[in-house]
Amino acid sequence: MTGVLLKNELLAKYTSWRVGGPAEQMYLPEDKDDLIAFISKLPKSGKMFWLGLGSNLLVRDGGIQGTVINTRGRLKAMSMIDTNKVYVEAGVPCAHVARFCMGLGLTGAEFLAGIPGTMGGALKMNAGAFGGETWNIVETVEMINSRGQVSKRGVEAFEVAYRSVKGVEDEWFLAVELLLTKGESELSQQKIKDLLEQRALTQPTNKPTCGSVFKNPPGDYAARLIDASGLKGYVIGGACISEKHANFIENTGNATAADIETLIDYIQQQVQLQQGINLQTEVCKVGEPL
């Protein structure tokens, strides 16, 4: 094995909210083959959690027991495997995938430019932006289980819904083959430019956030419901509901994960009380409280 194994590594350094306690151990693989070798030697009863860019994630202040696999800057291979197919490993940032496909003259992946995470995270939650969803362009995925065994699965092996993907237990995403459409790079480039400009205008992209906190309920928007409940700018500790987009919570500089989780709970209570809607979280909450 040629990767790096860290003990009691503080996860706040690796999350977009800049909060989170320590990982019992964290592995930074050299590449996919190294990761497969590492996982195959882990105790079969050990817990494993995969971490990409740390967006859409709230790591509690007590941290994560077991092994955290950090794919950030790793598992970064991308290649064109057919005239309209692209192979992408799980650690590649979604924005890089959008630009790579654009450069190949392939369309359909432009929306990925608006997702602040890795391809692995996008596959795990069927991430979407600007009307596009990850699994709409998936043909096959490469999976690994806790024994280090690798398999290839088609879309039919998964139950895919809005911000939700259910598959085989005890498996994680290693890579994906995306099926796209031949188009014009200039049109894709303009579409990505327009999407990023819209994102910068409507979202607090320069603040520590996790992305959208809540799923949009059917026929409505979480941000509208939070705004209508008079919650924009509401603060608990170092956590604040964004004035720019109500479905974002900002770390104003000294927030703890507990501050953010308390604010999430408060938003849900108030929206239920005032709007009669039970908001479901999009953000994934993991780890132990202090």
CB count within 10 Å of CB 98 equals 25
d(CA 53, CA 70): 9
**pLDDT, tens digit, 9 for 90 and up, residues 184-237:** 889 889 999 998 998 899 999 999 999 999 999 999 999 999 999 999 999 999
The pLDDT value given to residue 45: 78
The pLDDT value given to residue 185: 85
**pLDDT, tens digit, 9 for 90 and up, residues 67-100:** 999 999 999 999 999 999 999 999 999 999 999 9
Query: Angle at Cα 234 formed by Cα 233 and Cα 240, nearest 5°?
Result: 75
Q: Which residue has the higher pLDDT, 131 or 256?
A: 256
The pLDDT value given to residue 168: 87
The pLDDT value given to residue 46: 83
d(CA 98, CA 167): 25
The pLDDT value given to residue 258: 98
Q: Are 199 and 7 in contact (CB under 8 A)?
A: no
* Residues 97/102/107/110 CA torsion (nearest 10 deg): 50
The pLDDT value given to residue 1: 78
Q: Which helix (H) or strand (E) holds 101?
A: helix 94-103
Percentage of the chain beyond pLDDT 70 is 100
Question: Looking at residues 251-259, what average pLDDT do you find?
Answer: 97
Write out the catalytic residue numbers: 163, 212, 282
| Domains, the chain, ordered by start | 4-70 (3.30.43.10), 78-202 (3.30.465.10), 222-286 (3.90.78.10)
Percentage of the chain beyond pLDDT 90 is 92
3-state helix, strand, coil in the chain (%, to 5): 30, 30, 40
**pLDDT, tens digit, 9 for 90 and up, residues 146-171:** 999 999 999 999 999 999 999 988 89
d(CA 248, CA 117): 15
Confidence band of 44 (pLDDT split at 50, 70, 90): confident
Q: Are 147 and 42 in contact (CB under 8 A)?
A: no
Give the torsion sign (CA, 149, 151, 157, 159): positive
Res. 130: pLDDT tops 90:
no
Query: What is residue 103's three-state secondary structure?
Result: helix
CB count within 10 Å of CB 35 equals 26
Q: Are 232 and 248 in contact (CB under 8 A)?
A: no
